[in-house]
A and B are shown apart, each in its own frame.
Chain A
Amino acid sequence: MLSYLAKRILYVLPVAFGVSVFCFLLVHIAPGDPLTSVLPPDASQAMQDELRKIYGFDRPLPVQFGLWLLKALQGDLGTSIATGRPVAAEVWRAVGNTLLIALLATVIGFLLGSFFGFVAGYFRGSFLDKFASMLAVLGVSVPHYWLGMVMVIVFSVQLGWLPPGGAGPGGSAAWIWNWEHVSYMILPAITMSVIPMGIIARTVRALVADILHQEFVPALRAKGLMDFGVFRHVVKNAAPTALAVMGLQLGYLLGGSILIETVFSWPGTGFLLGNAIFQRDLPLLQGTILVLAMFFVGLNVLVDILQGLLDPRVRRR
């Protein structure tokens, strides 16, 4: 187990380094100077030079990268060009909000997806299987931002049951766990859950069908085990892979929430990214993407390690 752990961590370090290089370069592939958006068009050369010095854009790229990485490792992601506030604080607050609905969406998607996948795999070829498989295809084909709009149209505009967007009367700063606030989470979380639902349903269906074909299942039945007992064994065998897929899906949702958050004006990372893009606030863009990507990388490792703990076969690969 220890060597597996070490191998995973050694593998991920260069990837994490590469990710940070990419995020750093993001600011520099942008056309024009990173400062053009804040400088008034008639700024004098002296003023431009001074600002460039303050932000450190006058040094050679590798030096800039080294300094930036050193600061980032200490939790300093620079200053937002648009607001002048530290990027790290803004990103952390937004990550919390995104995590809230992404977690809820993953749980909903996992429960529904496992259920449909299980039914489909258990009764393979039946009407139920076709129905569940169709549902899975729908889940991966639907443009989720559009689904969000349709949800708003049905549940907010037509029925008036749920609020169309925002994060409640107190905003995200004064979040309280009561119905008034929770009602704002429901539509975005359900919309978001459709993607992991489809993918988990597909995975679980394949897993269950595969496990039922293995020799130990007839053996269990021959031993006199009833359906429920066999079911328990199938769940135990399918769980590690299904959980791993769920973990990865959480990562995808964290990074992919931007479109859904825009539809529902949810004050998470997507909302922050949207602002960063439109104000051309490159440090904010860079910081948000770095944090989200690192979250995703870390989650990948965590999933691998958990899978190794749960399933000894994985460790030997």
Chain B
Amino acid sequence: MKNNKVIQVEGLTKMFGDFTAVDAITFDVKKGEIFGFLGANGAGKTTAIKMLIGISNPTSGKATVAGFDVLTNPNDIKRNIGYMSQRFALYDDLTVKENITFFGGIYGLSRKRIKEKSEALIEELGLENVASQLVGSLPLGWKQKLSFSVSLIHDPKIVFLDEPTGGVDPITRRQFWEMIYKAANQGTTVFVTTHYMDEAEYCDRVSIMVDGRIEALDTPKKLKEQFQAESMNDVFLKLARG
């Protein structure tokens, strides 16, 4: 079932001068899957994501996202994906509501739709009391949840989350993953990077990048069998230490 694959990557490479940040990676992501994209700092995860979301041109290789080629149709990809970067990227000097309205507007949602979405979203996140406050004044955990919800505002087919839970407390992390599951259940494909190995266990499939290459790719269960490890943490350590 070819249509089932929403991301197809073949030999994707990115070089910065002599340095190969991403070295000919090849993988597929199926529709509705939660795909964990793991790797140590500097392994090339963020560079790979930037190529998939169409803001960085690959040096060589091929990738299609939501059926569109990253090189030739980046704008069609952008209509069909959501993205949450590892640093908070909503406007600190706009209020919660204004941020939602702004991004809804950029994605071309109608005023009515934006209003519905924003009410539903604020209620779901329990942000009623701070809806008119500047986003900059909110605690990090709230910001991250808001950021995730905003990245889903146009009902994208795929959402890319680059270390979404970095620096947030365990309770918020749990809530965050509940939101991820909910999105996945509604048919959104989730492409997520993380440093928390317990989170890797929640993923349907996991890939582990080391020095720009994908060294392992399978379900958490099979990876643990393959590497004869107790947990994903051990799998990661075995791979990353080389």
Co-assembled chains A and B: no
